[in-house]
Amino acid sequence: MSEETNRQSTVEEEFEQTETPNEGEDNNQEETETATEELSEVEQLKEENAAVQDRLARLQADFDNFRRRSQKEREADLKYKAQDIVNDLIPVVDNFERALQVDVQDEATESYAEGMRMVYNQLKQALIDHGVEEIEAEGAEFDPQKHQAVMQVSEEGYESNQVIEVMQKGYQLKDRVIRPAMVKVNE
């Protein structure tokens, strides 16, 4: 009997083993679903990573633009740092020029006028050293960027739109016009 029992238990084991593949299919289906979920999570993480990378690239570009803009502003500030003082000194130069146009009658006044010319020349040289230039106007063609027409006359010997006379000198700091020249222009 023991052999018969052994055989019967062997047959039952074989039968159970044949039923196991169905259980294996359920396991495979579960594994497939789990793998699909994991792939879905991976795709989602990849999308999030791409979004973060894109945001990072935009932030880096914004920072680079900010840095370049700040550098240009600093360069412009250094280039035109003397503009405020130049604006204050131009009327002083005008007054020196008017004072030096006075006719001198005696020797005492002549030495005083000579001292004024020396101070005037020194002031003009300091302005030139800092990039201030007079705007050349007389005889030039009228340029609305550099000249301000205060009079328009019709005189022979001059071309149309030519500056005839400078009423007040104009100045520019490097390439920026500080004060346009006031001029009389031929029609």
Residues 6 or more apart whose Cβ sits within 8 Å of residue 110: 104
User: Which residues in 55-74 are b (16+ Cβ under 10 Å) and which e?
Assistant: eeeeeeeeeeeeeeeeeeee
10-19, 26-35, 135-144 — most confident range: 135-144
Can you give the pLDDT at residue 82?
A: 83
Q: How confident is the model at residue 5 (pLDDT cuts 50, 70, 90)?
A: low
**What are the pLDDT digits (tens) for 154-174?**
888 888 889 999 999 999 998
**Inter-residue contact 90 to 171 (CB < 8 Å):** yes
Q: What is the CATH number that goes with domain 83-186?
A: 2.30.22.10
**Of 13 and 86, which is predicted with more confidence?**
86
* Residue-wise pLDDT tens digits, 29-77: 777 778 788 888 889 999 999 999 999 999 999 999 999 999 999 988 8
d(CA 151, CA 181): 12
Q: In the block, which residue shows the tokens 């149309």?
A: 160
Helix (H, G, I), strand (E, B), or coil: what is residue 136?
Answer: coil
Report the percent of the chain where pLDDT is more than 70: 86
Q: How far apart are CA 47 and CA 111, in angstroms?
A: 86
